[in-house]
Amino acid sequence: MAQFKSSTCEIPSARNVPAHIAIIMDGNGRWAKKRLLPRVAGHQRGVKSVRSTIRHCNSLGVDYLTLFAFSSENWRRPKDEVSFLMTLFYSSLAREIEQMHKDNLRFRVIGDISPFDSKLVSLIRDAEELTRDNGGLNLTVAANYGGRWDIMQAVKRMLKERPELAESFSENDLSPYLSMSYAPEPDLFIRTGGEQRISNFLLWQLAYTELYFTDTLWPDFDSTALDLAIRSYQARERRFGRTSEQLPAKNA
Ligand code: FPP
């Protein structure tokens, strides 16, 4: 039996405080443009929101926080911006990892990081190793990640290990090979910056996730903005395909 319930095969439990929040941090460039600053100043400021969101999730009892930092399509951006984002990821992780470890946070990266600079790859692997036994908030950064890539790599790895499944396989056969097999499916997806799309984020895992879109630009996203998103989530009825009448009187 899988560690966590699949939203399509079973009925997952739904807590009042989301167990897993996944975020597309959008709007950094526009935040900077509004202030006549270069786009990268928005990314730099975005790190502050990353820090405050981690802290707030920790204090609320959220178990998993997943942040989309760099998509497989972000390579299409100007070279300078891509290189700035890589440097920012490196410097932020190098600066924060000791504190994250002290806070009992477990850090992971999902995505194909093989094209990244080897220094960044080592830092990521060291940070994952350092925090691997921590039992607090599970922070996942999606870097060079794409939802389609994830499904493809899972199918490839599954068939390599279990070629007999080429004829036929089930969701439960495939799910252990997906990048986030260690986490429940997100309860709440947040996208800042006003766009209303999923942009190739966790395509498989978002099947029954509650979606929340806000015009707030990522550098302005603070604990109050996160509380608003959670309040919106708490007002939703999570039916997972059932009718209202079939739901238990109150979610645990
Ligand atoms: C989207 O805004 C944001 C990104 C592509 C990068 C997100 C990165 C950070 C918040 C900082 C680094 C993260 C970590 C985990 C240390 P955009 O540039 O598309 O904004 P726009 O839509 O206004 O142009």
For ligand 1, is residue 28 a contact (CB within 6 Å)? yes
Instruction: Determine the average pLDDT of the residues in 113-127.
Output: 97
**How many CB atoms are closer than 10 A to CB 202?**
28
What confidence tens digit (pLDDT) does each residue in 136-179 have?
999 999 999 999 999 999 999 999 999 999 999 999 999 999 99
Task: Return the pLDDT at 2.
Answer: 58
What is the CATH number for 131? 3.40.1180.10
**Is residue 191's pLDDT more than 60?**
yes
Q: Which atom of ligand 1 is nearest to the CA of 89?
A: 16
Say if 80 falls within a structural domain: yes
Identify whether 187 is a catalytic site residue: no
Q: Is residue 240 part of a domain?
A: no
pLDDT of residue 251: 47
Whether 63 maps to a domain, the answer reads yes
Residue of 23, 33, 39, 43 to test ligand 1 pocket, by largest number of atoms within 8 Å of CB: 43
Among the options 26, 63, 150, 187, which is catalytic? Answer: 26
> Span 175-189, mean pLDDT?
97
User: Does residue 85 surpass a pLDDT of 70?
Assistant: yes
**pTM across the whole model:** 0.93
Is the CB of 88 within 6 Å of ligand 1?
yes
The count of domains in the chain is 1
pLDDT tens figures, 203-248: 999 999 999 999 999 999 999 999 999 999 999 987 777 788 888 8
Task: Give mean pLDDT, residues 95-121.
Answer: 97
Average pLDDT, integer, range 77-97: 96
Spot the catalytic one: 74, 103, 117, 200: 74
Q: Is 25 in the pocket of ligand 1 (CB under 6 A)?
A: yes
Separation of 46 CA from ligand 1 center, angstroms? Answer: 7
Residue 250: the pLDDT is 59
CB 100 within 8 A of CB 131: yes
Q: How far is CA 1 from the centre of its chain?
A: 24
What's residue 252's pLDDT?
47
| 74 C-beta closer than 6 A to ligand 1 | yes
What is the whole-number distance in angstroms between the Cα of residue 227 and the centre of ligand 1?
21
User: Cα angle vertex 228, ends 43, 97, to 5°?
Assistant: 40
CB atoms within 10 A of CB 14: 21
Looking at ligand 1, which residue's alpha carbon is closest to its atom 10? Answer: 46
Pocket test for ligand 1, best of 23, 24, 28, 108 (most atoms within 8 A of CB): 28
Residue 155 belongs to some domain of the structure: yes
The whole-number pLDDT of residue 10 equals 82
Strands in 20-24's sheet, in edge-to-edge order, are: 106-110, 138-145, 64-71, 20-24, 188-191, 210-213
Tell me, yes or no, whether 249 lies in a domain: no
Domain assignment of residue 12, yes or no:
no
Report if residue 242 sits inside a domain: no
Residue 66 belongs to some domain of the structure: yes
Active site residue 26: yes
DSSP conformation letters of 157-171: HHHHH-GGGGS---H
- Domain containing 115: what range? 20-235
- What are the tens digits of pLDDT across the range 5-59? 888 888 777 789 999 999 999 999 999 999 999 999 999 999 999 999 999 999 9
How much is the pLDDT for 7? Answer: 84
Q: What pLDDT was estimated at residue 1?
A: 46
Residue 102: its pLDDT value, please? 97
Coil/strand/helix, residue 212: strand
